[in-house]
Structure 1
Amino acid sequence: MDRSEGFGERLLGALLDRAHEMPPQWIAPMIAEEVGRIGGRDVTVLLQDYAQELLVPLPGRGLVVGEPEVITDSPAGTAFLRATAVEIPQADGVRMYLPLLDGSDEVGVMALSLESIDDDDRRLLRRLAGLVAEILVTKHAYTDRFFQARRREPMTVAAEMQWSLLPPLTMSVPQVAVSGAVEPAYSIAGDSFDYALNDDILHVAVIDAMGHGLDAATMATVAVGAYRHARRSGIDLAEKYAFMNRAIAEQFGPDHFVTAQMMDLDTATGHLQWVNAGHPAPLLIRNHEVARQLEGPTTLPVGLGGEHPVISEHQLQRGDRVLCYTDGVIEERDAEGELFGEQRLIRCVNAVERARAEEGIRAGALALSHTLKRERGGRTSDDATVLLIEWRGGVADHLTFLE
């Protein structure tokens, strides 16, 4: 076997070898240098802002820092939402927009210009973008610079806590996908969500801690921490509720509570189970419209000492989506003082589903969050969170062993 390096391996290998001990401030020049080796120029790295409305340029020597690009109306936004490369012909070549994917979560977009492009370039650039995304995510934990680039307005301490608590906003595998959005992005406090895919079971929780500000953020942090601890202990949904209930009651006393929705989805069969602890009932979306509410017995919110909860069940069909949301979505009042309500939410969901039928779950969750905000007249006096779950069925047939 010929084990000598080819051009692509040398380029990607050099980037990987150098990145391990590279200080965060040198990541941008290193990216620009590696892109230059394949004839690329005018390199821009765009990161999603916290409001999920713009792709903002990452500053750094060697990178072009222009104006932010609107996610919903730009070539960079198209690459971001659809997780696919976009090519724009120009007088002196082609402008490439490559999604930066950390697994299936979109970190941002890398843009660059080439005089010409062929399939070998496309393959190498796709792999280079994947490696750049992994490096950015790794270095993100070592520096504040990426946070600062993404932040477009002042953020509260509570929101800082919540963003640090959240998992990646999107996760997608062949059998199932999850995507969420939180509002108000820069002052979110009591809302949060969490998920984990353990073998064939997707575990999901959406929580809403009472109150506002730091008190709510602290309670949400304890609730999510207790949920994760219980989940990792391998106990069932009813036991998770009991564990979270004790954690909140012991820490905050009898006058504090957290509403919660906890779900387990068997990604092999589509069998969905959930416990509703004082939360709005989820919506079942089928064939791009709301089919029904997933109603079932509810128990008291976490912290109030409810009885052993009843576990609800439903069998999903392939392509079904389940929308979980917090009460801030439907309890907001518009400029005329009218309550937003569930029926208006359903109309918004149906409109977004029809308009975004051909796009992925990331685009769907983002469009829904933005649509709901517009319908509320831009008002978000309480936290408003949406989380979409899509069951696709099938098996992970893209994972094969090479002989």
Structure 2
Amino acid sequence: MGAAYLVIYVADYEQAALLPLPGAGVPGRQALSMEGTLGGLAYRRVDTVRAARAEPLAPLWIPVLDGVERLGVAEVGFTAPPSEELLADISALLALTAELIVVNGAYSDFFARVRRRKLLSLAAEIQWDLLPPLAYGADRIVITGGLEPAYDIGGDTFDYAVNGDVADLMVLDAVGHGLPAAVLASVAVGAYRHARRNLLDLPDMCHEINEALAQQFGNSQFATGVLARLDLETGRLRWINAGHPPPLILRGSSLVRPPACSPARPLGLQETKAVCCDLRLEPGDRLLLYTDGITEARSPDGQYFGEARLIDFVTTAATHGDPAPETVRRLMRRVLAHQADRLQDDASLVMLEWRAGTEAQLLA
């Protein structure tokens, strides 16, 4: 293809740095920050970035995507400016490369080792292996999630699945910290997937999770969470709040409060089957499911991050045209910075956009 060299970088678990993949004949490179570098700019914008200098071998920086999930970027050096046709071929090659990374990562530790800038705790190792892709996009929906502290996450997790015209989501906060919380979350996610794949409705799914936790851990351990189901055709949203912060719905720059709906007890402590809450989304709405580690992140001077900051950040990002995956990445960095990079509690968030009109931008 006329390229003099090519280097693949993968994002670390925090999505704060890009780490080069080594290989025979690959030029030696250092890690790149997401901020203040051309590689980071290509990752953040999900767009090809050209180096400003005109000398030979000035590189192009091209995102490496698996679907809409950003795996990293490629640095490609050419001896002459590439044509648009050649750029399209390079992008196709990188799409295949992304598939190889994902497929090989399922049975090799190579990419998982490269991605870590520091040791993961055992609890974090378990949680990352439980997660679905951090970003998913189709013609009517975009789902994006984030977790912090990425290298030491314990009891927070999320899961989702899109089957035909139905999207299912869950955000979970297991009581405690570290390995015990990760084990509790693992059982909850396993029970959730088991019930979901058996085509159970939301109250029955919630009941299955509750019973699994109660039988395995007794009444001393539990998890709060939100289970939600969205009909992609009609926008009908049903959810169950199990002792958790309620969902937030953003419509343009406004917050839409869900109708009054009593929460159920936490998962593992329920004595009766939970009742669903119900409303209808409008095209363009963004649904936020989050754990209290987001809003209760406290700055060194004692200020909570709070719901208002969360809403303001997401609506401002939408006004500026930031895609959902970059919005969530930046939000998690902002929450960390608010607490001086030392979270006292796990923090996780899932954002769902329904018929927002920006899906084609991600899918291009």
Whether the TM-score (by the shorter chain) exceeds 0.5 is yes
Per-residue Cα deviation, 1:266-311 (whole angstroms, up to 9, x for no partner): 1122211111101101211222x34134363210011002422221
What's the counterpart of residue 26 of structure 1? none
Q: Does structure 1 conserve the Cα–Cα contact (< 8 Å) formed by 2:210 and 2:268?
A: yes
Alignment of 1:364-379 (within 5 A): 364-379=327-342
> Is it true that 1:134 corresponds to 2:99 in the alignment?
yes
Over 3 Å counting, the alpha-carbon distance change for 1:290 and 1:211 in structure 2 is farther
- AA partner of residue 287 (structure 2): V
Q: Equivalent residue for 2:353?
A: 390
Match of 2:195 in 1: 230
| CA distance in 2 between partners of 1:63 and 1:93 (Å) | 14
Q: Secondary structure at the match of 1:382?
A: coil
Indicate the SS of the match to 2:102.
helix
Within 5 A, what are the aligned runs for 1:153-302?
Answer: 153-287=118-252, 289-294=253-258, 296-302=261-267
Partner residue of 2:75?
111
RMSD: 2.0
Same amino acid, percent of matched pairs: 37
Q: Among 97, 104, 119, which residue is 2:61 paired with?
A: 97
Shift of 1:78: 2.9
1:363 aligns with 326
Shift of the alpha carbon at 1:353? 3.8
Of 320, 326, 329 in structure 1, the residue corresponding to residue 291 of structure 2 is 326
Q: Structure 1: which 5+ residue stretches go unaligned?
A: 1-37, 399-403
Q: Structure 1 residues 187, 86: closer, same or farther in 2, change over 3 A? A: same
Q: Greater CA deviation, 107-116 or 169-178?
A: 107-116
**Counterparts of 1:107 and 1:278 in 2: how far apart (Å)?**
34
TM-score (norm 1): 0.84
Greater C-alpha radius of gyration? 1
- Distance in 2 (CA, whole Å) between partners of 1:268 and 1:72 is 39
- Structure 1 Cα separation of the partners of residues 267 and 249 of structure 2: 24
In structure 2, distance between residues paired with 1:255 and 1:280: 21
Q: Which residue matches 1:42?
A: 5
Counterpart residue number, 1:6: none
Q: Name the SS for the 1:328 alignment partner.
A: helix
Alignment deviations for residues 18-59 of structure 1 (CA, whole Å, 9 cap, x no partner):
xxxxxxxxxxxxxxxxxxxx1212311110101111111112
TM-score, normalization: structure 2?
0.93
1:156-205 Cα shifts (integer Å, max 9, x gaps): 00000000111110001111001111000110010000011100111110
Change (3 A) 1:350 1:360: closer
Give the Cα separation in 1 of the matches to 2:105 and 2:84.
Answer: 31
Q: Which amino acid aligns with 2:122?
A: V
Offset at residue 96 of structure 1 (A): 1.8
Q: For residue 112 of structure 2, what is the aligned residue in structure 1?
A: 147
Secondary structure, aligned partner of 2:9 = strand
State which drifts further: 244-253 or 55-64: 55-64
- SS of the aligned residue for 1:158 comes to helix
Aligned twin of 1:63: 26
The question of whether the paired residues in 1 share the 8 Å contact of 2:235 and 2:281 is answered with yes
Counterpart in the other structure of 1:401:
none
Structure 2 CA distance for partners of 1:137 and 1:311, relative to 1, 3 Å: same
